[in-house]
Amino acid sequence: MTDVLEHPIETPSHGHEEHHGPSGILKWLTTTDHKIIGLSYTVTSVLMLVIGGLFAEIIRAQLSTPNGSLVSLSQYNELFTMHGSVMIYLFAGPFAFGGLANIIVPIQIGAPDMAFPRLNALSYWLYLTGSITMLAGFFTAGGAANFGWVAYAPLSNSINTPGAGADLWIGGLLLTGFSAIFTGVNLCATIFYLRAPGMTMFRMPIFTWNMLVTGILILLAFPVLTAGLIMLYCDRHFGTHIYSVAGGGVPVLWQHIFWFWGHPEVYILALPFFGMVTDIIPVFSRKPVFGYKGMVFATLSIAALSLGVWAHHMFTTGVVLLPFFSIMSLLIAVPTGIKIFNWIGTMWRGEIWFSTAMLMALGFVVTFLIGGLTGIYLASPPLDFFTHDTYFVVAHFHSVVMALVLAGMAGLYYWGPKITGYLLNEKIGKLQFWFLFLGTQVFTLPLYLLGLEGMPRRMAIYPHDPQWKMLNDLSSLGAAMIGISTLLFVVNVAVSWKKHPAGDNPWDGHTLEWFTTSPPPHHNFYRLPQIRSERPTWDYNHPGHQALAHGKHAPAVPAEKVSTS
Amino acid sequence: MKVEAKMLLGLGLFFGVMCAVYWNWSLENAGGVMMFAGMLLCFLPGSYYYFWSRRMKMRPEDDPNATQASGAGVVGSFPGTSIWPFTLAMGAFFIVLALVFGVWFLIPGLGLVVWAMLGGTAEGRRGGKV
Amino acid sequence: MEIPTLPPQGVTAHTRRWRRVCKAVALPLAALALSGCTVPSFGASEGVTSTSRSTYHLWQGFSVGAAIIGTFVLLLMLWAVVRYRRKGDNIPEQSQYHLPLELLYTIVPILIVFGLFAATIVVENKVVANPTTSVTIDVNAFQWGWKFTYPGSSAVVVGQTTQDPVMVMPVNTDVHINLTSTDVIHGFYVKEFNFSRYALPGVKNQFTFHAVSTGTYFGQCTQLCGLYHSLMYFKVKVVTPSQYASWLATFNNASSASAASAAQTAQQTQNATHVPSKTTASSGAN
């Protein structure tokens, strides 16, 4: 039935070298193994999640009274700037495309490593130094950057924001930007050139597909940001007037450049997490992903549309073409909707196992549904005029990014055992899920109402409108619940440390990473199964249960087959 | 390789059409230029893959009926351990610090970058440690 | 072509399930239809300008759509989660594609999107329309306050942060606003107008309000503009045209410029404790 052959690249020399390599800190500094780099990425980015989360908790505490005096006005500006920057630049992206993707993608396609292992190591070190650079702003005299994570010119010029904090922000972003570009190159090259025999493009797991599209989007978007930042730096220090009216420049140009990066960046953040969920839901439903090809085309069309929607962040500037960006942005709802229906279709008539990973994935779908539906409002210019820069927008994208956090947690619970070799505690995991999921809703839903009541974002105090206190308090309660969920995750990691060995395939997984050992050996595989579908490990473990084409039903022969009635 | 080519060329084509519509409609240059560049960035690797997909034999990873044995041979050269990425990143770090704190940071920065480039290249010449 | 081998009882169960799903979808819809024209506000308010009302109706339309789609998807999910819990070690049928269904949930959303887009365009054209008007107000935002100038008269209102400068405008009249900024980007946002627009340096943003009821409404800067962003308030006072005319006349009677600046200085000293370091003179003048 299914042949198993020694993987040809597995030679004794690799194991040999592994034993004689450096150890300890030198191993960490010199490694080019994608699994160790990916793990470093994951740990660093989760640390960034905790740091950014701490900023968020301070922000919520400040807003729990109308005249909050926990932090000063300028400290508040620094806090929300760095909260946004840390979460977007240093957590969400690197966690996905540097962390889990780095570990999982090569294994999912049967590759021994990333295509450019040393470039991969460089990516991580640039990311780490970039993170340190950006956060170092807090230790300078003028404090960290305080112009918001979008750094709109001319607020970000040297007159309105002098000081080293802003420059460190730019510098940190340059470093992490290059890190992202190198990772993008690496992902594309790996997926194009290092697939195992038989792993055709349309047999790649959806997570790998999404990472490929993410890689392409990184290559399209990040160079624009880097160029924009260099011009911003020149404006600040070399007397150019690219973004300042005084010298004949155009402030809105920064917004064009920033959002031309910024909106694809939204999908750079989101697609990896979509991919994680699309890998997790089928495994725990014991079915192939519903509409695999539709899923791939949906991902590609999100990528295609993402380059033409940037100015929906700029509707209220009054200088952009409203109908074009409105229809392009609305159209993105279509592939996103396809994805949601495909996830439901996957669960339909499945056998759903509510592990922590699956619960987190379901929590993702619900939260993302809320974030997605409210996103449709914002694609309509009149409604954007109405809600722009109010808490409605804040609530919308926090629904989206908290959904991504849920998906990321799903990914950690799902792939963590593969990476470390040990299972995480399911009881604490489920408790964490409820805190995270309910906390997210308690946190975001009041913010929608606050936005509709007219509370603008980035307000340190709201003395005119003390009636906003109640909704703010509710939201702060949600933020506290999310904080508790993060603590629970840390506790879970500590409690489950090296306790319950996972085995090679704890979830009855579908894709190649579940075929190898946990953790995988150096260069990943001792052997590979024949690859005849996007579920090689499933096909190997369950011969006779291949995915069925439309209109086909399984023959009644197999003994284990029980009617689903 | 055909799928890769089709995907990239398709994306490029879409960006091209979108760019034409947008640029003609809005007469706004920044976005038009960026979309045009996005199109070129897709056409560049896309046409490369298209070129080779017509001239190469089907690779085992594109063959739906490939056996694992068909991939036999050297997959590629994978270095074992290397200190040069870390050195290079430290160089870049110092260069960025020079942007903020003063030009003198360029001395260690550029020094480390040059050192890492030489070291990394020499290591590459040795063929890494595969 | 293989013949489906589902057992007959499976088919009836399937049909019964579909009927139940249809009922679940139809009931809330019917309830909504019966409740008639009173579409809920979904948290927004209709505002006090003609365009704010159009925006509000668009908001209601989008919200009804979102509520229906959201409820439908959540019910589908809930059903799947409750109905298909794992009960044993069965391997369910490995069906992967259902082309008609996939096409359905591709084409229907596209149609919905074009419907939403059409509604958007209709309202957008109303909101961004710039008819010729008799009343014009030049609004100039600066760090951290507002300056309202009335071309054709000598009326000027300036105020910073908590001084809450008041923009006076007549009711039932098209009022043309020219919005710009002297330094960084600010956001001109009046909640009751359901509208906001950036004040960009070097750009004159133009839009028109047609207020339909008198009153005083709060406005606020929504775009982060530096240290005192949270305190950059203003007020909009909508008055009857005759009140508006007499208000304008007060500026013309007094030797206008000096009177305005005197009033302004008085106000400034009064609020000195709240005023940030920058003075009106330095930021408002250039």
Q: Do the chains contact at A376 and C6, CB–CB below 8 Å?
A: no
Beta-strand runs (E) in A52-117? none
Among the partner residues A7, A113, A121, nearest to B86 by beta-carbon distance = A121
Same domain membership, residue C281 and residue C142 = yes
- Nearest Cα residue to A286 out of B122, C85, C43: C85
Residue of A nearest to C194 (CA): A386
Mutation target vs B (from A36, A122, A169; most B CBs, 10 A cutoff) = A122
Contacts of A173 (CB under 8 A, 6+ apart): A85, A89, A130, A134, A225, A229
Tokens of A124: 């991580």
Sheet with C205-210, side-by-side order of all strands: C156-160, C145-149, C135-142, C174-181, C205-210
- Per residue, the 3-state secondary structure of A454-490, as one string, reads CCECCCCCCCCCHHHHHHHHHHHHHHHHHHHHHHHHH
Q: How many CB atoms lie within 10 A of CB C181?
A: 27
> Which alpha helices (DSSP H) does A203-250 contain, by range?
206-237
The percent of residues in chain A predicted with pLDDT above 70, rounded, is 94
C55 CA: distance to closest CA in chain A (Å): 6
Give SS3 for C148: strand
**Contact indicator for A539, A532 with CB cutoff of 8 Å:** yes
Tokens of C108: 């229907």
End-to-end CA distance of chain B: 27
> What's the pLDDT at A408?
95
- Helices and strands in chain B: count of H runs, count of E runs: 4, 0
> What's the pLDDT at B125?
59
Alpha-carbon distance A430 to A359, whole Å? 8
Q: Does C129 touch chain A (CB under 8 A)?
A: no
To the nearest 10 degrees (0 to 180), the angle between helices A426-452 and A356-378 is: 10
pLDDT in tens, A499-521: 889 889 999 999 999 999 989 99
Q: Does A214 touch chain C (CB under 8 A)?
A: no
Give SS3 for A6: strand
**Contact indicator for C240, C170 with CB cutoff of 8 Å:** yes
Cβ neighbours of A6 in B, within 8 Å: 68
Tokens of B85: 């990425």
Tokens of C276: 């940030």
Name the domain count of chain C: 2
Mutation target vs B (from A27, A133, A220; most B CBs, 10 A cutoff) = A220
Same domain membership, residue C275 and residue C153 = yes
pLDDT in tens, A26-65: 888 998 899 999 999 999 999 999 999 999 999 999 999 9
Tokens of A372: 């997605």
Q: Does C201 touch chain A (CB under 8 A)?
A: yes
Instruction: Tell whether the model's pLDDT for residue A1 goes beyond 60.
Output: no
pLDDT in tens, A519-539: 999 889 888 898 988 999 999
Q: Do the chains contact at C92 and A287, CB–CB below 8 Å?
A: yes
C282: amino acid identity, one letter: S
Cβ neighbours of C90 in A, within 8 Å: 286, 351, 560, 562, 564
Average pLDDT over residues A285-300: 94
> What's the pLDDT at A360?
96
Residue of B nearest to A237 (CA): B99
| More reliable by pLDDT, B35 or A6 | B35
Question: Residue C147 pairs with which residues in a beta bridge?
Answer: C140, C158
Alpha-carbon distance A212 to A189, whole Å? 9
Alpha-carbon distance A77 to A197, whole Å? 53
Give SS3 for A209: helix
Give the count of alpha carbons within 13 A of A122, CB side only: 26
A291 CA: distance to closest CA in chain B (Å): 19
Does a cis peptide bond (omega within 30 degrees of 0) precede residue A538? no
**Contact indicator for A546, A539 with CB cutoff of 8 Å:** yes
pLDDT classification of A148: cutoffs 50, 70, 90: very high
- Nearest Cα residue to C220 out of C249, C193, C202: C193
Cβ neighbours of A195 in B, within 8 Å: 61
Does a cis peptide bond (omega within 30 degrees of 0) precede residue A264? no
C-alpha A112, offset from chain centre = 24
Cβ neighbours of B28 in A, within 8 Å: 256, 320-321
Same domain membership, residue C50 and residue C156 = no
CATH of residue C177: 2.60.40.420
**Contact indicator for A480, A57 with CB cutoff of 8 Å:** yes
pLDDT in tens, A61-116: 999 999 888 999 999 999 999 999 999 999 999 999 999 999 999 999 999 899 99
Note down the domain range covering C77: 39-82+97-127
Q: Is residue C31 domain-resident?
A: no
pLDDT classification of C28: cutoffs 50, 70, 90: low
Same domain membership, residue C279 and residue C145 = yes
Mutation target vs B (from A7, A10, A32, A216; most B CBs, 10 A cutoff) = A32
pLDDT in tens, C167-198: 999 999 999 999 999 999 999 999 999 999 99
| More reliable by pLDDT, A263 or C152 | A263
Residue of B nearest to A529 (CA): B68
- Degrees to nearest 5, angle at CA A146 with A140 and A151: 125
A526 CA: distance to closest CA in chain C (Å): 28
Give the count of alpha carbons within 13 A of A358, CB side only: 21
Alpha-carbon distance A507 to A329, whole Å? 37
CATH topology for A30-540 is Cytochrome C Oxidase; Chain A (1.20.210)
> What's the pLDDT at A94?
94
Contacting subunits of B (3+ beta carbon pairs below 8 A): A
Q: Do the chains contact at A352 and C2, CB–CB below 8 Å?
A: no
Q: Which residue has the tokens 């697609």?
A: A271
Alpha-carbon distance C262 to C264, whole Å? 5
> What's the pLDDT at C1?
39
Average pLDDT over residues A226-253: 92
Q: Does A308 touch chain B (CB under 8 A)?
A: yes
pLDDT in tens, A359-372: 999 999 999 999 99
Lowest pLDDT segment from C5-19, C112-126, C172-186, C241-255: C5-19
Q: Do the chains contact at A291 and C97, CB–CB below 8 Å?
A: yes
Average pLDDT, chain C: 80
Please report, to the nearest 10 degrees, the dihedral formed by the alpha carbons of residues A358, A360, A363, A367 taken in order: -130
Q: Is residue C23 domain-resident?
A: no
Which helix (H) or strand (E) element contains residue C187?
strand C186-190
Instruction: Tell whether the model's pLDDT for residue C4 goes beyond 70.
Output: no
pLDDT classification of C276: cutoffs 50, 70, 90: very low
Give SS3 for C175: strand
Mutation target vs A (from C89, C97, C181; most A CBs, 10 A cutoff) = C97
- Degrees to nearest 5, angle at CA A178 with B91 and B90: 15
Same domain membership, residue C116 and residue C140 = no
pLDDT classification of C65: cutoffs 50, 70, 90: very high
Q: Does C121 touch chain A (CB under 8 A)?
A: yes
Q: Does A366 touch chain B (CB under 8 A)?
A: no
pLDDT classification of A556: cutoffs 50, 70, 90: low
Contacts of C219 (CB under 8 A, 6+ apart): C167, C188, C189, C190, C191, C233, C234, C235, C236
Cβ neighbours of A365 in C, within 8 Å: 77
**Contact indicator for C55, C194 with CB cutoff of 8 Å:** yes
Chains B and C physically touch (3 or more Cβ atom pairs below 8 Å): no
Alpha-carbon distance A262 to C275, whole Å? 36
| More reliable by pLDDT, B80 or B23 | B23
Find residues 151-170 of chain A whose CB sits inside 8 Å of chain C: 152, 154-155, 160
Same domain membership, residue C187 and residue C115 = no
Same domain membership, residue C109 and residue C250 = no
Find residues 61-100 of chain A whose CB sits inside 8 Å of chain C: 73-74, 77
- Nearest Cα residue to C45 out of A379, A449, A376, A446: A449
Q: Does C148 touch chain A (CB under 8 A)?
A: no
Among the partner residues A155, A344, A554, nearest to C185 by beta-carbon distance = A155
pLDDT classification of C160: cutoffs 50, 70, 90: confident
Same domain membership, residue C139 and residue C117 = no
Residue C88 burial class via C-beta count within 10 angstroms: exposed 0-12, middle 13-18, buried 19 and up = exposed
For chains A and B, count residue pairs whose Cβ atoms are closer than 8 Å: 185
Cβ neighbours of B25 in A, within 8 Å: 321, 324
**Contact indicator for A117, A32 with CB cutoff of 8 Å:** yes
Alpha-carbon distance C64 to A378, whole Å? 15
> What's the pLDDT at A548?
81
pLDDT classification of A248: cutoffs 50, 70, 90: confident
Tokens of A397: 């994208």
**Contact indicator for A222, A177 with CB cutoff of 8 Å:** yes
Q: Do the chains contact at B68 and A528, CB–CB below 8 Å?
A: yes
Domain-wise residue ranges, chain B: 2-63, 84-125
For chains A and C, count residue pairs whose Cβ atoms are closer than 8 Å: 296
Tell me, yes or no, if the pTM score tops 0.80: yes
Alpha-carbon distance C96 to A547, whole Å? 6
Cβ neighbours of A291 in C, within 8 Å: 96-98, 102
Instruction: Tell whether the model's pLDDT for residue C34 goes beyond 70.
Output: no
Average pLDDT, chain A: 90
Same domain membership, residue C165 and residue C45 = no
Alpha-carbon distance A9 to A517, whole Å? 17
> What's the pLDDT at A512?
93
pLDDT classification of A7: cutoffs 50, 70, 90: very low
Same domain membership, residue C162 and residue C46 = no
| More reliable by pLDDT, A20 or A455 | A455
Residue of A nearest to B40 (CA): A220
Q: Does A21 touch chain B (CB under 8 A)?
A: yes
Backbone angles phi, psi at C149, to 5 degrees: -115, 140
Tokens of A307: 């380059």
Q: Write the CA distances from A149 to A117, A155, A502, integer angstroms.
A: 31, 12, 40
Q: Given the DSSP bridges, would you call strands C145-149 and C135-142 parallel, antiparallel or unpaired?
A: antiparallel
Average pLDDT over residues C109-117: 94
3-state DSSP percent of chain A in helix, strand and coil, to 5 = 65, 0, 30
Q: Which residue has the tokens 């690197």?
A: A94
Q: Does A353 touch chain C (CB under 8 A)?
A: yes
Domain-wise residue ranges, chain A: 30-540
- Nearest Cα residue to C129 out of A382, A392, A547: A382
Q: How many CB atoms lie within 10 A of CB C251?
A: 18
Alpha-carbon distance C169 to C137, whole Å? 8
> What's the pLDDT at C37?
59
Residue of A nearest to B8 (CA): A216
> What's the pLDDT at C2?
43
Q: Write the CA distances from C90 to A145, A248, A545, A557, integer angstroms.
A: 56, 70, 12, 15
Cβ neighbours of A345 in C, within 8 Å: 98, 101
Among the partner residues A147, A344, A352, nearest to C85 by beta-carbon distance = A352
Cβ neighbours of C88 in A, within 8 Å: 351, 562
Alpha-carbon distance C96 to A535, whole Å? 12
- Degrees to nearest 5, angle at CA C235 with C231 and C238: 170
Tokens of C151: 């071309």
